[in-house]
Chains A and B, each alone.
Chain A
């Protein structure tokens, strides 16, 4: 009887130590793998970005004739449409690059909007785009809220990013469809 109990304890102790060893092996493998992945991602940093900003291009001039992606915001007041050709400037706040593009612009394209363009640097220092993609920011709001922010002067989408979300994400604009009619003539 006592022998059987001791046996069982011994067996459990062995199983527990095996479990502990397997856990350690897993943890060590995980650390090694995580470290290797972090090193690889850091090493390929330059290739993992989807586009380059105007400041990147000022810092290191692009190779002549090599296509790359240029991204940033469409500068307010810079869009000129000339038939099928559109010219605008892409800015990141610090620097701006002139872009020319022939073709259909995406629906979201407007001044102040994020864009990613694919093309080559022309001899005149302007970027000739063969593709323009629109980027949108991470703010989602009903048009009434956006109108209210615009009317109150808190945000002009053509000038840049939306104000901090805490200021508007629970806002109830007057005349909104939430069963609370605007109090008029009460």
Chain B
């Protein structure tokens, strides 16, 4: 590794550029992260699915919201995280940023797929259709393809560094889609209704439903972060094992060569 860059605007980040230090630091917090995620998520889901009221017009179907909306938020917030990792990788060449981006995209793709699937299950009974090509749904579908495309392109090259570069560029190009997803329901008329919570006016949701929704959002976000961190740790360890095996193979190659002159 190169010397600690004094001129970097992000000295804190570079403390974890050392994979060994990263593994040691995260090993201590991983059990806590798993514990807190489950302790927050399970009661929140129970609160939302069993103890929150039905909606005046949607009835019990409204409970799909407690999964659908956190998945939609995570799909977008996760993508913003992917963009930050990509900038760190392209500009600051942070060694963990590439790995974080690579391990983030499969989780992001799953979350976006869950958002689309729950939305479809919700749309059929409420709107009368599984799918419509309105601006919101189409832009979220594009977001899903960006996640899948990033996961694929970072793994498509023999040279991992090249794949990571391509992936980072794709991720940053895709950032254009984020404001389109968010504001599609305001800029154009759509089948999907406008935002209830993330808007300037007071939330258009009664507090008895807003509470469990926010709790579920926090729970799913914690689980999301835990999963991604666990994946990054596994990837770091995988690379260490590969390096060790490579070193051992070299050793084995050299041993008979050294034996010849003796």
Contacts and interface: CB of A to CB of B under 8 A. Distances in A.
A26 B172 contact: yes
B124 to A, nearest CB: 10
Contacts of A168: 206
Interface string B194-215: 1110000111111111100000
Contacts of A8: 3
A interface, over-half SS: mixed
Nearest to A177: B53
Interface string A137-172: 111111111110000000001000010111011110
A169 B191 contact: no
Interface stretch (A46-54, A60-68, A119-127): A46-54
Q: For chain A, which range describes its interface: under 10, 10 to 19, 20 to 34, or 35 or more residues?
A: 35 or more
A93 interface: no
Most chain A Cβ neighbours within 10 Å, of B3, B91, B206: B206
A132 B132 CA distance: 12
Interface residues of B, number: 50
A164 B201 contact: yes
Contacts of A30: 172, 175
A48 B135 contact: yes
A50 B132 contact: yes
Interface in B101-121: none
A30 B209 CA distance: 39
Interface centre among A13, A41, A166, A178 (most CB of B within 10 A): A41
B87 A169 contact: no
B210 to A, nearest CB: 7
B209 A136 contact: no
Given A30-B175, A171-B206, A138 B194 contact: yes
Contacts of A164: 201-202
Contact of A136 (B5, B126, B172): B126
B33 interface: no
A136 B195 contact: no
A41 B142 CA distance: 15
B206 A134 contact: no
Given A106-B128, A116-B191, A135-B127, A141 B55 contact: yes
A142 B204 contact: no
A165 B202 contact: yes
B204 A169 contact: yes
B105 to A, nearest CB: 19
16 contacts: A8-B3, A37-B180, A50-B191, A51-B189, A71-B189, A106-B126, A106-B128, A133-B128, A137-B193, A137-B204, A139-B196, A140-B205, A141-B205, A141-B206, A143-B54, A165-B202
The 3 nearest A-B residue pairs measured at CB = A106-B128, A142-B53, A146-B56
Interface of A: 8, 12-13, 15-16, 19, 22-23, 26, 29-30, 33-34, 37, 41, 45, 48-51, 53, 71, 106-108, 116, 131-147, 157, 162, 164-166, 168-171, 177-178
